[in-house]
Chain A
C-alpha cells in the first residue's frame, strides 16, 4: 500500500537522501522516494505492516534529521 508523507522543515538535501535510504531499509518497506524540493515522501508498505513500519519511519527521520517532523499527507 502506498502512503504519502510530508517532511516538514527538511533543510538538507543530503539528509533527504539519507532518509530515503534509511526508510528503504526498514523491513516491510518495498519502495521509498523522498523529494527534497517538495518535502514529500512516498512509501510503499507491505499490507498489514503499516503500523510498525510507520513507527520505524518516525525513528529513522528523527535519527537523521531531528528538526524535521513527519506528517501524514
Chain B
C-alpha cells in the first residue's frame, strides 16, 4: 500500500511540473525545447505510475484475458500518447491509480469494520489443570475440561456453570442490552461477555461446535449464497465490457470514414469509451452492501444465512406465523381462578392439583405448578380419567371432578358459569357441586402486537396465523393481534399444506415468510420462501433449519430484519443506477465529443469509490 502511494505522489509531482513548466517559463527557453522536456516528464510520470498496469496487461494477454481493466487502461492511455494527448494520457493513468488506491483502502476499511462488528471470536480459554490456570487456544480445550472466565472476558466455549454467579452481556449474540444472570448449573453460551463474577465452567462442546463458531461460520459464509441482483450484475458485466469495447472500435473506424472528419478526434472518443468500459463500480458495491446489511442484522441478533435471503426479505408480502411459542410465550400458566362464593380459591386450586396429579398433560402440569406444593399421594383415595372430558378423583373425603364443560354436563351440575375466555378452562366440581373454574392460557408475547403492526408498516400485505389449537383460542388471540387470516385446529402436516396453498395463490414476485420456533416446524420452514426461526439462541436445530435466525424470542425483530433488508436493497439499487447513469451518460457525451477522458476516469473510479462509500451506510 505504502509503495503504491509513494509512486502515485511522485508521479503526480512530476506531472504537475510538466504542466506548469510551460506557464512559468522564467528562463525564456524556446518552445521546442520546452515541449521536449514536457514529453520526457510526462513519459517518466506515466512509467512511474502506470508501469505495473501495463505489465499486468501484457501478462494477462498471454493468459488470454483481453477485457481486464489493466488491458483497457493501457490501451486507452497508450492510445492517448499515440494521438499526442500527453497530459490526458498521464492524467488518466494517474487518476485511475488514485481511484484504485482509494477503492482498495475503502474495501479494506469496510472489511475491517464488518469484521469488528462480528468480533465475538474468543482468543483464549483459561483452562484449569490441577488447580492451576493455563491460557490455551479455545481449540485445544476438550469436552469435560474446566475453564475459568474472569470478569470482562469472553466465554470461549459452551458449557455449564459449576461455580460462581455473574451477569452476562449477551448483546453480541442477541442484540439484547439487558444483562442476563447465570448461576451454578445454568447453561452458558460462548460469545457472551462475563461482566462481574468469576465463573467456573464445565465445557460441553468443542470449539468448532460451540455457539460462537457456528454463528461466525454462518455469517462469514452468508455472502457465498448470492442474491439474484448480484448474479445479474455479474452476468451483465460479462457482456458490458465487450459491448463497450466493440462500440469504441466502431466509433474509431466508421464516423471518420462517413463524415470525412479528423480521425484523431474519433480515436480520442473511442479511447474515452475504453476508460468507461470497466464494470468495477457495479460489481464491487453489490456484495459489499449485502455484507454490510448482513453485518448490521447480526448486530441486532438477527442472523441472515445468505445475501439471497436478505434480498428475499425485502420482497416479503405474506408473513405466516406459527402461534404457540412465536406470537405467544408457549408456556401454559394458570391465569385466573374463579371460585363460587362457597369455596375458597386456594382450596379450589389445591384440590384441582391433587385431582390432576396423575396426569402428565401440559394443562395438569400447569395447575400443579401453580399450586407449587408437594402432592401427598396418600390423600388421593381414587383417581379415574373420563376420556376426552377430564378426571374424577377422591381426595380425602371429597369427590373432586376437573375437566371441560362436557364433564360438568355429565355430572348434571347446576349453576355452571360457562365462560368465554381465551385459553383452556378447567371446571372444578367438589362433592357434586360446581365450585368454579381455573383458566389456563398461553400468554401473548408483549411485543407481538407491535410486531404485526410493524410488519404492515414495513410492507407486508397479508399476515396469517397457523395453530393446532382450537378455533376459540385462536380467535381470542387474534382479537388482540389482528392478523388478516387465522387457520386453527391444524395438524403439523396441515401446516405444510396451508403454506403450500398460500404459496400457490400468491404472485411470483411476492415472497412468503414462515415464522416459527424452529423446533417442530422444520418442514414448514423449509417449504416457505424464507423460513425464520425465533428464540434460537442455544438451539442448534433451529439454527440449522431456518434461513433467517432470530436469536431472541421477540417477533418484532422480523420487521427490523425487513427494514434492514429494504435499506440494503435500496443502497444496492442506488449504487447500480448511479453507476449505470454516470457511465452511460459519459458514453453518450463522449460519443458526441462532449466528455473528456477526465470525465471518463471519474465515471470509472470516482463512481466506484462513491458506491463503496455508499454501501457503508448499510452497516448502520
Residues of A within 8 A of B (CB): 11-17, 33-40, 42, 63-64, 66
Contacts and interface: CB of A to CB of B under 8 A. Distances in A.
B69 A35 contact: no
A42 B104 contact: no
Given A11-B107, A12-B69, A14-B69, A38 B223 contact: yes
A56 to B, nearest CB: 14
Contact of A40 (B65, B107, B224, B234): B224
B221 A37 contact: no
A38 to B, nearest CB: 5
B224 A33 contact: yes
Contacts of B138: none
Contact of B220 (A12, A13, A34, A38): A38
How would you classify the secondary structure of chain A's contact residues: helix, strand, loop or mixed? mixed
B65 A64 contact: yes
How would you classify the secondary structure of chain B's contact residues: helix, strand, loop or mixed? helix
Contacts of A64: 63, 65, 68
B237 interface: yes
B53 to A, nearest CB: 12
A42 B221 contact: yes
A38 B114 CA distance: 9
Nearest to B63: A63
A37 B114 contact: yes
Nearest to B612: A13
A72 to B, nearest CB: 16
Nearest to A42: B224
A63 B65 contact: yes
Contacts of B59: 66
B284 interface: yes
Given A37-B114, A66-B59, A14 B237 contact: yes
Contact of B284 (A13, A38, A39): A13
A12 B223 contact: no
A33 B319 CA distance: 30
Contact of B104 (A11, A33, A63): A11
Q: Give the one of B111, B279, B283, B291 with max A CB within 10 A.
A: B283
Contact of A14 (B111, B114, B225, B280): B280
Contact of A38 (B68, B238, B291): B291
B56 interface: yes
Contacts of B288: 36-37
Given A63-B65, A66-B59, A13 B280 contact: yes
A17 B284 contact: no
Given A14-B278, A42-B221, A64-B65, A36 B284 contact: yes
B287 interface: yes
Contacts of B205: none
A14 B288 CA distance: 13
B226 interface: yes
B280 A33 contact: no
